[in-house]
Amino acid sequence: MDALAGRWRRAISSLKELRLRVAFLRSEVLRADLLAVARALDDLCRDAEQANPTARDVLGAVVPSLADPALSERVEQLRELASSHALLPLSRLLRRKARRPEAQPTSPAPDERLLATSSAGRALTLGERRALARRPTRAAFEALLRDPHPLVIRNLLANPRLTEDDVVRLAARRPANAEVMTEIARHPEWPQRARVRMAIVQNPGAPPEIAVPMVRLLLRPELLRLTAATDVPAVVRAAARELLDRRPPVPHKPGGPLAQ
């Protein structure tokens, strides 16, 4: 077992709070030697592909950092190391569809029909909507859940009145807003919920950089469902099929738990 990966396993086993797990792994990914991080992640990915529960727990705590735009340069460096050092499990974790050099994603101007309004019908400013999203009230949730601005969604995701059903609806909305999907994926707690993960990976508009790492956390029934979803990007379905092929067959006993 890789030494750094072993340390991460022990730390995650001792940390029960999801936020602490995510914060610990983020600091490790940022401060540890890059090649050491790549080798540790490769070791964990290999075991996670074999349905090792501790390895999956560690990857679950890493995924929010992989989805964070602030760490995109670090993730790209890990992707390059995975390729140059033949770290195949890590390459599968960080796989993304090829991008055309001329394609430059741009954020569309917000549709005012989607924005929360004042009692007089005026579309609220960004600052007003961010403030509204922090309040512990559900009065404006319906409008805020449609808001296209990632900073509003970031505040909303931290609102204690937000429910898992709300986040599932947000992650499943089509057409997807890539920035909103990123905010959900980088949150330290919501991506740990199985229903939220499935809503993300099954959304055709979810960026593959977000969806593919989440595929590594799915159980066998979820992988089977994903491979049958014809509207999901090919790179995401391929990741699910590949992981199914690598999972060890586990006989299902009548009345027993489903195989992972």
Q: What does the pLDDT read at residue 130?
A: 87
- Distance from C-alpha of 215 to C-alpha of 44, rounded to nearest angstrom: 14
Phi, psi angles (nearest 5°) of residue 33: -55, 135
Residue 120's pLDDT is 59
| 8 Å CB contact between 71 and 29 | yes
Q: What count of other Cβ atoms lies within 10 Å of the Cβ of residue 133? A: 24
Torsions phi, psi for 123 (to 5 deg): -65, 130
Could you read off the pLDDT of 25-49 as tens digits, one per residue? 999 999 999 999 999 999 999 999 9
pLDDT of residue 144: 86
Q: Which two tokens stand for residue 104?
A: 């430059």
Query: Can you give the pLDDT at residue 104?
Result: 43
Residues of the chain with pLDDT under 70: 97-122, 136, 250-260
Helix 150-157 with 126-134: angle, nearest 10 deg: 10
Torsions phi, psi for 117 (to 5 deg): -125, 160
Q: Is 31 left (phi over 0), alpha (psi -120 to 50) or beta?
A: alpha
For residues 190 and 196, is the Cβ–Cβ distance under 8 A?
A: yes
Rg (CA), the chain: 19
- DSSP for the chain reads --HHHHHHHHHHHH--SHHHHHHHHHHHHHHS-HHHHHHHHHHHHHHHHTT-HHHHHHHHHHHHHHT-GGGHHHHHHHHHHHHHTT-HHHHHHT------TT----PPPP-GGGS-B-TTSPBPPHHHHHHHHHSS-STTHHHHTT---HHHHHHHHT-TT--HHHHHHHHH-SS--HHHHHHHHHSSSGGGSHHHHHHHHT-TTS-HHHHHHHHTT--HHHHHHHHT-TTS-HHHHHHHHHHHHHSPP-PPPTTSPPP-
Question: What pLDDT sits at residue 252?
Answer: 56
Give the pLDDT confidence score for residue 133 in this predicted structure: 86
192: nearest Cα among 88, 58, 101: 58
